[in-house]
Structure 1
Amino acid sequence: MTSSRPPSTPQADLRALGSALAAAWPPLQAEAEHLARTLLLGGHGRRQSGRGDEFWQYRPAQAGDPARDIDWRRSGRSDAHFVREKEWQAAQSVHLWVDRSAAMQFSSDTGLPTKSHRAALLAMALSTLLMKGGERVALTALGTPPRTGNLQLTRIAEGLTDTDDADYGAPDAATFLPHARAVFVSDFLGPTDALETAIATCAARGIKGVLHQILDPAEEAFPYQGRTIFTSMGGGVVHETLRAGDLRARYRDRLAERKAHLSQLAQTAGWRYACHHTDASAQSALLWLYQAVEGAG
């Protein structure tokens, strides 16, 4: 989405903005920790059967279950056989790509966070939750493999404060581990070629994942009227119109087409897609993200 007015700082000042944001990564980490804690206190932990040491539940034995998996003591108390399931505890790898392009710096109102800040907050809180569950997490921008621990969280927080001069971001899955999981967070309003290539690369490697679109409410509603100058956040595209309201229907149709395309890309690859607006609850978005990523494993 483009801004309805020229950006207050020219493109060259984005690097200075990035430096200012970098000084704020401790508050971002603290905010993300708080957001993650609200989810943990709500009892939304991981509960999946699989390999592990902690007992979860009994279930009736099914055809194909090995005899060694049957709990004979529990089965002896009834006429049926039962299998003792343990909670899933095998560590997994999760790759995060978070769009840090100029377009993500947009906010239509001073009372709303930028798309970039909301994306960074959700990615940081998700990393915190996943690592508390024993997962290894990597931020694509860092160019390092998935790891766990407080040091990795700090590195991710630092990486999430970087900015990119490009108008729109493009994911690259070339270094993703086979059979890992992937999370792409962006407004997805730019060209989709790189996104389609990245998803195809993931599908070929058995990687399941999530597309999480972040939009400002103005990018959904297109509330502009009369003479308006639309300027991309990077300053590379400028369009002036005397009747902005006449563009609303066409814009909304194009946005609906883009959402449908993203949803189809996700569905074809066995991924999940959702759209989140920056005026909505970050907690609800984090809950969806966490459950979507866990379900992709």
Structure 2
Amino acid sequence: MAIKDLHLAAKTAVDGFMAGMHTSRVKGAGLEFSQYRSYQPGDDLRWLDWKMYARSDRYYIRESEMETSIDVGLLIDASNSMLHTEDGISKIDYARYLAASLGYLAHLQGDAAGLAVLHHNQLFSMAARREAQHMARLYYQLEKIQPGGTFTQPVHYRDLFAGPHNRQLLIFITDYYEQSGEITNLLQTLAALGHEILVFHLLGKKELTGNFKGYDAVEDLETGQQIELTGIADTDYPVNLETYTASLRKQLLQKRIYYRQHILQEPMDAVLRDFLNQRNKMRR
């Protein structure tokens, strides 16, 4: 995260991750070739077979390369609570780098990457595309995110439900702060549409363990409410948090939504591995 350029940071993180994996475990688009078909306007030019063109003077697409790619949607919770910071790392900055790395990895795999940002009670969205120019726009929009306000209300979800109803892999990066189940309801609706969903719940180490030594109170970043810590037993908080997240995990898994906690102070390798595993399941 010391690298400020998102594209360079994502490339550095992913290249390091890929170097640590056995190459046979990472299957990119087009490795399982089936047949050629004639080029049609609108097809991705990256899948043209230039050797066939040289032999026949006609444009052909490697059919399997188109079939094995998928659409990946990066959904980022950018409400005000994502400004929570530990050890100099804010949740929203971690989410930026994580989304950039996942987008870059998806692009390497031949997938189309899209973006949705939920903040200020509004929704910003970019449709999924595969072109390199689109990835530059995606990094730019990630850099522009200004977190604030509360989580987006259902009236603004139309862009998430509109457009082609093809099955997507949706990756939701959030601190899972919700007032009345609004995040869970959104995820369950998306799952009901047939999408595969990975939820990465960002937590800091102090937040996870309830290490609030030196503080008399904590403030809710979205409501401004202050909670006095005096009299709260050190053991109450971690037990209550574990009970809550265990219930949340069970609730989401019942809807076939994958849930993983991720700590701000940890590297992104586990998240990148989860993405590849889920992506390869969708290709089978």
Q: TM-score normalised by the shorter chain: which range applies?
A: 0.7 to 0.9
Displacement of 1:144 in angstroms is: 2.6
Match of 2:161 in 1: 174
Cα distance in 2 for residues equivalent to 1:43 and 1:170? 43
Match of 1:136 in 2: 112
Given the alignment, which residue of 34, 37, 47 partners 2:27? 47
Q: Deviations for 1:201-223, whole angstroms, at most 9, x for unmatched residues?
A: 22322111111111010111111
For 1:222, the aligned partner's letter is G
Displacement of 1:100 in angstroms is: 1.5
Structure 1 residues 216, 139: closer, same or farther in 2, change over 3 A? same
Determine helix, strand or coil for the equivalent of 2:161: coil
| Aligned ranges 1:1-297 → 2 under 5 Å | 27-41=5-19, 42-43=21-22, 46-47=26-27, 52-53=32-33, 90-110=68-88, 113-141=89-117, 142-161=124-143, 162-167=145-150, 172=157, 173-175=160-162, 177-191=165-179, 193-225=181-213, 228-234=216-222, 236-243=224-231, 246-296=232-282
Cα distance in 1 for residues equivalent to 2:191 and 2:153? 17
- RMSD between aligned alpha carbons? 3.2
- What is the count of residue pairs matched by the alignment? 240
Cα distance in 1 for residues equivalent to 2:109 and 2:245? 31
Structure 1 residues 147, 212: closer, same or farther in 2, change over 3 A? same
Cα distance in 2 for residues equivalent to 1:275 and 1:146? 26
For 1:213, the aligned partner's letter is H
Cα distance in 1 for residues equivalent to 2:79 and 2:6? 18
Structure 1 residues 192, 249: closer, same or farther in 2, change over 3 A? farther
Displacement of 1:124 in angstroms is: 0.8
For 1:260, the aligned partner's letter is A
For 2:68, the aligned partner's letter is A
Determine helix, strand or coil for the equivalent of 1:146: strand
Displacement of 1:284 in angstroms is: 3.2
Using CA pairs below 8 Å that are at least 6 residues apart, which structure has the higher relative contact order?
1
Structure 1 residues 279, 26: closer, same or farther in 2, change over 3 A? closer
Match of 1:21 in 2: none
For 2:99, the aligned partner's letter is A
Cα distance in 2 for residues equivalent to 1:143 and 1:168? 15
Structure 1 residues 170, 278: closer, same or farther in 2, change over 3 A? farther
Displacement of 1:130 in angstroms is: 0.8
Q: Could you state the TM-score of these two structures normalised by the residue count of structure 2?
A: 0.72
Unmatched runs of 5 consecutive residues or more in structure 2: 36-63, 118-123
Cα distance in 2 for residues equivalent to 1:152 and 1:119? 19
Structure 1 residues 233, 28: closer, same or farther in 2, change over 3 A? farther
Displacement of 1:116 in angstroms is: 1.4
Determine helix, strand or coil for the equivalent of 2:126: coil
Q: Deviations for 1:130-155, whole angstroms, at most 9, x for unmatched residues?
A: 11111111101342321112222222
Which runs of at least 4 in structure 1 moved beyond 6 Å after TM superposition?
A: 48-51
Determine helix, strand or coil for the equivalent of 1:139: strand
Identity of aligned residues (%): 17
Cα distance in 1 for residues equivalent to 2:134 and 2:237? 41
Q: Could you state the TM-score of these two structures normalised by the residue count of structure 1?
A: 0.69
Unmatched runs of 5 consecutive residues or more in structure 1: 1-23, 56-85
